[in-house]
């Protein structure tokens, strides 16, 4: 067994994410039998002494049948209506199912704002900490009923990765209708399942697509992105089929395992790199990219070639290389209106009051490429 799989199997605190397609069916709504099978596996892991947070999709899917909707609606208002009906059904089903094991469920509904804003982020941390200390099982979902296009996570895979770091999880398990990561379309017999991902080079060049179930918003693209986000932050990840939840949560000898980076990011640096919403971009030359990414230096005005966005000093911005790839994020020290006249200029050429780092190294997080 690999080190990563041992880490997942032995994790004392873990986040488990389950997708809509594993819990609901088009036209029939929530599949209680499959939900109970999932809870059986989760309860067995809790009985072994682990603390567990469940990130569950399925609210919109669960609301389709009661509202006589044949398929997932495309407009936001109808999605919110379906979520308001389905969320109640989903919460009740989990409460009933976990109740078979005398386990109490606590519902936590989050919007992107709750992890993008630092004050909300800390409040969410405290809520999860207290629920787990009290022996409850937090069941998390995006707050689809009130979330707008501007503040949506977009999929619960990303939400699960953010929650995993937020609660200090030892591992993240992503359960879906696919039994792992493939180097192409798994329906094609010529493709190969990737058992272990040690770093980003193991997934370079592979083609992944969206789910064909029509019930969810993620697919393998979002699962791969979530796995890489969590792994880069120091959290081992297992991607497996929901039908194999029992093995995934016991021996972890199924699916695809993503090795964690050597060190875990602090809460603030993780927030900077993966949770905060950037309000602009700074374009860097090759020298600045090398300084920021490889040597972990501060960004100076001399290495900037362009500015875009409407941001204020203290906002989070993306740093991009000459090929427009995002290589880092950081807190900018100047307003967007101030920077154009500074870019490309050495510090000794600037007025004394402007001789400071554009993004200080302490406020900068290089991202894996």
Task: Write out pLDDT tens, residues 122-178.
Answer: 788 899 999 999 999 999 987 755 554 433 455 688 889 989 988 999 999 999 888
Q: Is 219 annotated as a binding residue?
A: yes
* pLDDT score for 117: 66
- Is residue 17 part of an annotated ligand binding site? yes
Q: Check the annotation: does 221 bind a ligand.
A: yes
What's the rounded Cα separation, in Å, for the pair 337 and 239?
44
The annotation status of 57 as a binding-site residue, yes or no, is yes
Q: Does domain 3-269 fall into CATH 3.40.1160.10?
A: yes
Q: Which spans in 20-155 are helix H? A: 32-47, 59-64, 76-99, 113-116, 118-133
> Rounded distance, CA 128 to CA 207, Å?
36
Tell the residue number behind the tokens 């740093």, with chain if given.
319
220 is in an annotated binding site: yes
Can you list the alpha helix ranges (DSSP code H) found in 109-219? 113-116, 118-133, 156-166
Residue 251 labelled as part of a binding site:
no
Helix (H) or strand (E) holding 17: strand 13-18
223 appears as a binding residue in the annotation = yes
246 is in an annotated binding site: no
CB 368: neighbour CB atoms within 10 A?
Answer: 14
What pLDDT is recorded for position 243? 94
Query: Is 84 one of the annotated binding-site residues?
Result: no
Residue 210 makes CB contacts below 8 A (sequence gap 6+) with: 218, 219, 220, 221
Domain boundaries, the chain: 3-269, 278-366
Residues 140 and 83: their CA atoms lie apart, in Å, by 14
Q: Which fold has domain 278-366?
A: 2.30.130
Q: Name which of 202-206, 359-363, 364-368 the model is least confident about.
A: 202-206
d(CA 22, CA 213): 10
144 is in an annotated binding site: yes
**Per-residue pLDDT tens for 303-334?**
999 999 999 998 899 999 999 999 999 999 99
Q: What is the pTM of this model?
A: 0.81
**In DSSP terms, which residues pair with 321 in a beta bridge?**
none
Q: Do domains 3-269 and 278-366 have the same CATH topology?
A: no
């Amino acid at each position: 067994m690999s080190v990563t799989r041992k880490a997942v199997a032995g994790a004392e605190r873990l986040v488990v994410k389950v997708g809509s397609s594993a819990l609901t069916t088009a036209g029939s709504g929530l599949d209680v039998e499959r939900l109970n099978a999932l809870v059986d596996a989760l309860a067995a892991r809790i009985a072994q002494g682990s603390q567990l947070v469940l990130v569950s999709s399925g609210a919109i899917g669960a609301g389709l049948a009661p509202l006589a909707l044949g398929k997932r609606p495309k407009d936001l208002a109808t999605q919110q209506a379906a979520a308001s009906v389905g969320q109640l059904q989903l919460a009740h089903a989990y409460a009933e199912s976990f109740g078979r094991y005398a386990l109490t469920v606590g519902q936590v509904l989050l919007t992107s704002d709750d992890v993008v804003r630092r004050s909300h982020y800390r409040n969410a941390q405290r809520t999860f900490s207290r629920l787990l200390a009290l022996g409850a099982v937090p069941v998390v979902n995006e707050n689809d009923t009130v979330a707008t296009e501007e503040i949506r996570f977009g999929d619960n895979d990303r939400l699960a990765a953010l929650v995993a770091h937020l609660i200090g999880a030892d591992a993240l398990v992503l359960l879906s209708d696919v039994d792992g990561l493939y180097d192409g379309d798994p329906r094609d017999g010529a493709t190969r399942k990737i058992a272990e991902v040690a770093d980003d080079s193991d997934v370079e060049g592979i083609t992944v697509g969206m789910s064909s179930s029509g019930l969810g918003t993620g697919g393998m693209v979002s699962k791969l992105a979530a796995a890489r986000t969590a792994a880069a932050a120091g959290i081992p990840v297992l991607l497996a089929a929901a039908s194999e939840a029992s093995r995934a949560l016991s021996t972890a000898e199924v699916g695809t395992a993503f090795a964690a980076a050597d060190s875990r990011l602090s809460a603030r640096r993780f927030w900077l790199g993966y949770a905060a919403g950037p309000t602009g971009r700074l374009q860097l030359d090759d020298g600045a990219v090398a300084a920021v990414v490889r040597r972990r230096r501060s960004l100076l005005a001399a290495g900037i070639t362009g500015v875009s966005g409407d941001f204020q000093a203290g906002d989070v911005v993306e740093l991009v290389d000459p090929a427009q790839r995002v290589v880092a994020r950081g807190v900018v020290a100047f307003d967007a209106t101030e920077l154009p006249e500074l870019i490309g200029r050495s510090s000794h050429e600037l007025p004394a009051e402007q001789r400071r780092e554009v993004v200080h190294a302490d406020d900068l997080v290089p991202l894996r490429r």
